[in-house]
Chain A
Amino acid sequence: MDPVILSRWQFAITTVYHFFFVPLTLGLGWFVAIMETIYVRTGNEAYKRVAKFWGKLFLINFAMGVVTGIVLEFQFGMNWSEFSRYVGDIFGAPLAIEALLAFFLESTFLGIWIFGWDRLSKGLHALTIWMVVIGSNLSALWILIANAWMQHPVGYVINEFSGRAELVDFAALIFNPKAWLFFWHTISAGFATAAFFVLGISAYHLVREKGSEVFRRSFHMAAVIGIVAAIMVGVAGHFQGLYLLEVQPMAAVASEAHYDTSDPAPFSLVAIFDSTGKREIWSLQIPKMLSMLYYLKPEGEIPGINQIQAEYVAKFGPGDYVPLVALAYWTFRIMVGIGLLMIALGIFALFMIMKNWPEKWARWLKWLVWVIPLPYIANTAGWILTETGRQPWIVHGLLKTENAMSTNLSAGTVLFTLIGFTLIYAVLMMVDIYLLSKYAKAGMETAAYEPTNPVSPMD
């Protein structure tokens, strides 16, 4: 087996896995912080219980995010050392800054938050969870600055002597439009993920205990945030699409399976691909719709995969510059489809609230717990689209993935660690879901923050 393929699988599995936990951390942190702030402001103990209930789920999730995050920082060097040599001068900086600004902040203050309920004043304690929120959101920003540079390299020169990319404009690196579009999209997705998490769990409890005031409030807040966030994800996504067409046209048109330059361009609604995943066999198209989506009018040229391929061969030399179109195409549709479904579900939830929980709709409520996985699927699809849509490049236009791997690793070595990570992650996923559902089901009263402490079971 090819060690590059194995390393890509390992990176994909560890990254996608890590990103199961990150969006919930990003969004749920705000939720907990807002609840605790209301508690501080009003002195209403109910809000303290709400903050602790969601806080408990936040912590279980956060722990998984932290331990899987370290793996990523190490892997750039472990599996992708040629990449690290080539881009380290630029790429290392946001990573180091992320650790210094964000990781220290979130982990130190989370420790204080967990253990500080009785040791700090109420206001100071609420401040610590805000520090955690700032830390985790800053962390997202800096890692996205790093990733954005791989998608759209800016502020660099190629050093003729060493042959590597070197930073010449730090401001350009930070203010890379790609990074901020990513950030907007990702943070919104984090809010949406948390909102549907809260919505689903609150619905679960409201089915069982109709009068639960705290879960009604959580449900209400989650419905509003969920709709707004899902729309924001979409709006950010639209602008990302426009920018993608400008700086990474191949990835943009691959996600639409648009093979030939045309004006106006048709939109493919459903497509079937051959076994290579790169050529289309059949496609159901809506005329002019792709131009409409990009330019908001029924005209405008959209370049095709074939033309961009020819252009890249002329620019970068012979090679296959077409990513796995089928994957880009379907992950894009899954992501957008789920996004639209989430907006619809959010509107349904708001309808429930505004109609004052009509009895004949109540049976639908229990199904809302199953909306929790939706944003997770969409988030994963989004990253698969982003990372595979960039292929064959690891840094767009500068370095190919096949040239980025550590040269000293054999397929067997990588296979060994790939299996190791996969097994550990599979077991931990079961444990994580078990604990989350246990505490989610337990509800406000029983899910005391302090874990139950039996009489020394080990004696």
Chain B
Amino acid sequence: MELQTVWFLLITILFTGFFILEGFDYGVGILLPFLGKSDKERRMIINAIGPFWDGNEVWIITAGGAIFAAFPEWYATLFSGFYLALALMLFALIIRGVGFEFRSNEVKPLWRKTWDWLIFTGSLIPALLWGVAMANLLKGLPIDENFTFVGTFWDLLNPYSLISGLAFLSLFILHGAIFLSLKVEGDVSDRAISTAKRLWGPALVWVLVAGGIGLFGTDMVDRLGILSGIFPLVAGLGILAAGWNIGKRQFGSAFIGTVIGIAFSTITLFRGLFPRVMVSSLDPDWSLTITNASSSDYTLKVMTIVALIFVPLVLLYQSWSYWTFRKRIREDTPLEY
């Protein structure tokens, strides 16, 4: 396999991992003001993702770094093209990140309530924007022969990208609700369960609609054949399985269901892209591909060696972190955030 393909795969894995892990963080952040009826409950909710959220966020920072190192043209066009969207995302990530740390450092109810809603907003915006951004990569954007994005912010908003945004958003909230049902005890868990019960249906619909438009509204079926429909279908089946297991109160299995849903939604997008990385709507020849956007072979070789050594290590200690904090947050669990 060519190194460009290896790096495309690795970046796909980084995005998939990011959406699976940060997906429930976003969902939990969005659900925070609704599922936590008292301050204690809200703290329990934040503490449920407390040890993980920052490590989860590094997945996207690494994905960004990997794109920069392996496909600098992709990095340049993507980040400059999505300028305002990314600025908005950064504003959201900034207030959300400090929100977790700062919220419980002051007892005034107004202080805590303000941070709760900032955490909500800071989780909602990126959850929605990631869907919008990813769909636009596949749908195509006005990119000229110099790989420069020549459109405006409004080009990013179209039915397909907005529906994909809603699909990501609803999927992440569902994912977060199931996560909370597993990680918190008591009333919060019950409320999370009833939220998940109401949410899995809409999430399924949005993911299937987004997947359908992805298949037939872009060139995906033309290029890859109708069998490429298997990816969004598996995503849908994952969500269906999640709904089924929520009904049976098998929340561990339900969580695996949303993991599959998120993973295959992401895979749908990246499979549709490959071997392109950003599609030009102006001229197919101006699309960025793993070849014309790539770094030199030497850089890719160096980076492959680095990745081979350190990715397994990261997976190892992140798994250890999840293992260490596998227990549920209970009424009497010491709360740090």
Contacts and interface: CB of A to CB of B under 8 A. Distances in A.
A73 B79 CA distance: 10
Given A66-B97, A103-B58, A166-B296, A84 B72 contact: yes
Contact of B148 (A109, A407, A454): A407
A354 interface: no
Interface residues of B, number: 82
Interface in A226-282: none
Interface string A412-426: 010011001100100
Given A70-B90, A450-B335, 9 more contacts: A85-B147, A95-B68, A103-B61, A109-B321, A112-B320, A116-B51, A408-B149, A435-B106, A456-B40
B61 A458 contact: no
Nearest to B98: A63
A93 B304 CA distance: 11
Given A89-B296, A108-B318, A407-B148, A70 B310 contact: no
A219 to B, nearest CB: 25
Contacts of A309: none
A188 interface: no
Interface in B26-48: 37-40, 42-43, 47
Given A60-B102, A103-B61, A112-B324, A458 B314 contact: no
B250 interface: no
A332 to B, nearest CB: 32
A435 B68 contact: no
Interface in A55-102: 59-60, 62-64, 66-68, 70-71, 73-74, 76-79, 81-82, 84-85, 87-93, 95-101
A-B pairs with the 7 shortest C-beta distances?
A: A88-B72, A77-B79, A96-B65, A92-B69, A92-B68, A81-B76, A406-B80
B127 to A, nearest CB: 16
Contact of A104 (B58, B95, B146): B58
Interface string B101-118: 110111111001100000
A112 B324 CA distance: 8
Given A85-B73, A115-B336, A166-B298, A74 B97 contact: no
Contacts of B61: 70, 73, 99, 103
Residues of A contacting B: mostly: helix
A317 interface: no
A33 B93 CA distance: 28
A99 B65 contact: yes
Q: Size class of A's contact patch?
A: 35 or more
B86 interface: yes
A407 B150 CA distance: 9
A433 interface: no
Contact of B62 (A104, A408, A428): A104
B50 interface: yes
B80 A79 contact: yes
Interface in B279-337: 295-296, 298-299, 302-303, 306-307, 310-311, 314, 317-318, 320-321, 324-325, 334-337
